[in-house]
Structure formats: structure tokens, C-alpha cells
Structure 1
Amino acid sequence: MAEQSNILDTVKAKLIQANTATTSSAGRNAIAADIAKLLTQLDNIAKSTNYNGTQLISNAAGNAAATAMTFQVGEDSTNNAISTSTINANTTGLSLNAYTSITTIGAGSAATAQTTVDTAITDLNKYRSAVGSVQNQVESAVRNLMTQATNVKAAEAIIRDVDYAEESANFNKQNIISQAGAYAIAQSNAAQQNVLRLLQ
């Protein structure tokens, strides 16, 4: 949309030139032809701006708004979604259709067109601002998710990094205690059997 903004700035400069008394009618006709070509280029940019076939700033025909998009930025699609508004950055959406096929322009109509182009520049800047806001939200969500992933990996590493030497020593200690207990029980049972044999 930056190039579209440049195009509108150029159109405005040409309209200012057409509005001056020193510009001849032939000069105004040349300016009108330039404006029509610039606005055609603005529409071409709107039609060709897509990502994986999804139109971003206009529909494919270049005469209506692109559909709003929603980005899921977490595990819960209800609470972790960022949505865009519809964007109609073409001559239809910016109310510039009347100037796409002009062949001549007078000083009075150039002044009127300047006001229309100023409004179009304001609208385009609003679209750019909305896209920038969504971009900032998505980038912030990505940074947050990366921090969460780092924290989970750190916690997993702590759990996995058990001190094997210490645990091996504890296992051997418990094994010896268990064997000693089994030996004591065996000796106790043997003593009871000896007493029973004597009593028989």
C-alpha cells in the first residue's frame, strides 16, 4: 500500500498543477491521461496483492473489498484470534472511479478532484494503519508464544536432567536395605523353624 500512497501523492501533485492558471488545456489533457494511467496502476496493485491466492487489499476483480481475515495465534481459537477488517484499496473503495478514464480536466474539476484525492489518501492511510496494527498484534503474539515455548523447554530440561549418579547411589542404598530386610526375615523364619523342630 506504500506504492499506492505514492501514486495518490503523485495524482494530487498533478491535480495541483492542473489547477493553476498557467497550465494550458493541452497540458491539462496530458495531466488527465497521466492521472488515468496512475489510477489504473493503483487498481493493478490492488488486484495483484495476494498471499497464496488470498486477496489482501481488494477482491480479484479490483472493484470490491477483500474479505476480512482471522489469524489464530494460540491454542484456543476463541480467545486467541486476531481479525482484520475488510480492505478496499482500489479506485472503487477510494471513490476515485470517476477519474480512471478521464481524458480532459478543467481547473475547477481539478480542485474538486483534489478534495476527493485527499479523502482517498486519508482512507488509504486508515487501511495502512489497520494493517500495521494487526501486524503488530501478530508479531507480539508470536513473541509471546516463543517465550512460552522456551519456558516449556526449560522446564522439560530440568525434569529430564536428573542427577543420575545421585539417583544410582539412592537405588543401591535402597537395594541393600531391602536385601538386609529380606535376610533378617529369613533368619527370623529359620529360628522359628528350629524352635518348632526342638518341640517335636
Structure 2
Amino acid sequence: MEVNNNSHVNNSIYLNANQALNRISTGVEINQASDDPSGLSILSNLNLKTSGYTQAIENTNSGIALTQIADGALTGQATILDNIKEKLLQASTDTTNQEGREAILNDIQNLLTQFDDIASQTNYNGNTLLQNSSENQGESQVLQFQTSDEEGTPIQTNSVQSNTQGLNLDSLLNEDPNSFTSDDARSYLDTLDTAINDLNDIKSEFASVQNQLESSTRNLLSQSNSTLGAADVFNTDFAAEVTSFSKQNILAQIGAFGAAQSNNINQQTVTRLLS
């Protein structure tokens, strides 16, 4: 009976030492279901929520990058329209001769071609942002951003068509330089002002989406930090576990020494009886 009790005590010491060592090496108190079944379930749920928040934050950051790319492209297009307005004003006065007016229209049409190039080339990860596709000048696709770890209404962009066709500038793009008069130039000023306003509206829409994404990111970070804080309860108390491991290690050494001494005494007793 005494041997069995000693064996049970030694096994318990070794198990406690191994448990302390596992906690020290992994940094968490619960490493298997037997440590704390209910606690393990809670910790698993917290880790799952944290993973969901992490992915949702990555989604929002990608969405913010997309809106920033769109905003940069739209800013470039706005600069082009400003230049075109200056040139139209120059062409609309009769102090500019016909040859000069034709040269101005050529510049305008080159700028409009550049305007369309920006629309066709602006994309994020294969998604064309300012029109349907690189080859299709129709409206862009609605883009949705999943910004929650659960099902819910995603943040999304509106369809936009930021090209000469969408902003009704295609007639100016196709105007014949040979017959371009000062009256024609003046007639395009209102069209251009409308295009500038429409472009500003598109910029505002992307800015609004970016603001929503940034707000969502802040909320997700707050929730993620709270969840991580809740999971900290299950983190290893290193001071306590090192102390426990040292204690169990000493007890194991004492047990081994005691067992060795016991075996030595038993051998001496047997030797005397056989003498």
C-alpha cells in the first residue's frame, strides 16, 4: 500500500510540474479540456471573435485604400476639367483667331482623352472604380465591404461613370476643330460647369464611404481590444507558474531521493536476514 501511495503522489507531482511547464511555454492557463472545460469553451469563443474582428479590420483597411485610389484619380480628373475650362474661356473670346481656337480645341480633346484614360485605368485589385471596366465606359459596379464579423448590411459604393460619356463631355471630345467657333466654346461652358459639379459629387460619395469605413475600423478596433482584454484572464501568471514548477520539481527530487533511500534500506535489511 505504501508503494502505491508513493507512486500516486509522485505521479501527481509530475503532472502538476508538466501542467505548470505547459502554461509557461504556451502563455495560457488552459491548454487542454481537462484543465478547465468551461473555461476552454469561453477562450475558444473569444479567440474566434478576435479572428473575425481581425479579418473585418483588414476588409475595412482594403476598402479605405480603394477609396483613396479613387479619390486620387478623381482629383486628377478635376484638375483636367479646370484646365479645360480655362481653355474654353480663351477660345470663347473673339480676340482669339480661328487658328488659335483650333489649336485650343486640340489641346482640350487631348485632355479629355487623358480624362478617359484615367477612368479606364483606375482600379483596385481588378475592380475598375470609375467606370464599368477598362473597355466599357458604362457605370461601375457597386462594391460592397464586409465590415463586421457577423451578417449585416455592408458598406458600399454607388455606381459611378466618371468619363466623358458619363459627364456629357463626349460631344466636346468629338467637336470638329475646323468649324469650332467662339459661340461653340461659350456653349460648352455650362456643360463643363455641370460636369465639374457632377465630378465633385462623385468625389463626395467616395469620401463618404471612406468616412464610414474609418468609423467602422475604429469601432472594430475597440471591440477587438475589449475581446483581447477578456481573453487576458486566461493568460499565464508566469510568476505563479514558475514558482509552482520549481516547487513541483523540488518535490519530485525529494521523492526520488526518498525512494532511493528506501530501496537502500530494504536491500540492507534483506542482506542482514540472509546473513
For the aligned pair, the TM-score class normalised by the smaller chain equals 0.7 to 0.9
Q: CA deviation at 1:55?
A: 0.6
**Aligned-partner SS, 1:85:** coil
**One-letter code of the match for 1:43?**
D
> Quick check: 1:16–1:111 contact (8 Å CA) kept in 2?
yes
Shift in Å, 1:74: 0.3
* 1:61 maps to which of 105, 117, 135: 135
Contact conserved, 1:43 with 1:62, CA < 8 A, in 2?
no
Query: How many residues matched?
Result: 167
CA contact (8 A) 1:47 1:61 kept: yes
SS at match of 1:76: coil
What is the CA–CA distance in structure 2 between the aligned matches of 1:22 and 1:71, rounded to whole Å? 53
Provide the residue aligned with 1:96 in structure 2: 169
Select the residue among 55, 64, 75 that pairs with 2:149. 75
- Cα distance between partner residues in 2 of 1:61 and 1:72: 28
Measure, in 1, the Cα distance between the counterparts of 2:129 and 2:167.
15
Contact in 2 for aligned 1:33/1:102 (Cα 8 Å) = no
Q: Determine if the alignment matches structure 1 residue 149 to structure 2 residue 240.
A: no
Q: What residue number does 2:181 align with?
A: 106
Contact 1:33 1:103 in 2 (8 A): no
Q: Give 1:68 deviation, angstroms.
A: 1.0
Q: Does 1:28 align with 2:94?
A: no
- Structure 1: stretches of 5+ with no match in the other structure: 170-200
State the identity %: 39
Confirm whether residue 49 of structure 1 aligns to residue 125 of structure 2: no
TM-score by length of 2: 0.57
Counterpart position of 1:37:
110
Query: Deviations for 1:112-151, whole angstroms, at most 9, x for unmatched residues?
Result: 1110000000000000000010011111111211111111
- AA partner of residue 158 (structure 1): V
Name the structure 2 match of 1:133: 208
Q: For residue 13 of structure 1, report the CA deviation from its aligned partner.
A: 0.5
Which protein has the bigger helix share? 2
Q: Which moved more, 1:138-147 or 1:101-110?
A: 101-110
Task: Report the 3-state secondary structure (helix = DSSP H, G, I; strand = E; otherwise coil) of the residue aligned with 2:131.
Answer: coil
**TM-score, reference length from structure 1:** 0.78
- Measured on the aligned residues, the alpha-carbon RMSD in Å equals 1.9
2:158 to 73, 85, 89: 85
Give a deviation string over 1:37-91, Cα, whole Å, max 9, x none. Answer: 1000000000000111111011222521111111110023323x10111010000
Assess, with a 3 A threshold, how the Cα gap between structure 1 residues 83 and 28 changes in structure 2: closer, same or farther: same
> C-alpha offsets along residues 127-176 of structure 1, whole Å, 9 cap, x if unaligned?
0000010011111111211111111111111343569749x99xxxxxxx
1:4 paired to 2:77: yes
Higher relative contact order (CA 8 A, sep 6+): 2
The 8 Å contact of residues 64 and 88 in structure 1, kept in 2 or not, is answered as yes
Q: Distance in 2 between matches of 1:38 and 1:94?
A: 14
Give the direction of change, closer, same or farther, for the CA distance of 1:77–1:111 in structure 2 (3 Å limit). farther
Q: What 5-or-longer segments of structure 2 have no aligned partner?
A: 1-73, 245-275
Q: Secondary structure at the match of 2:145?
A: strand
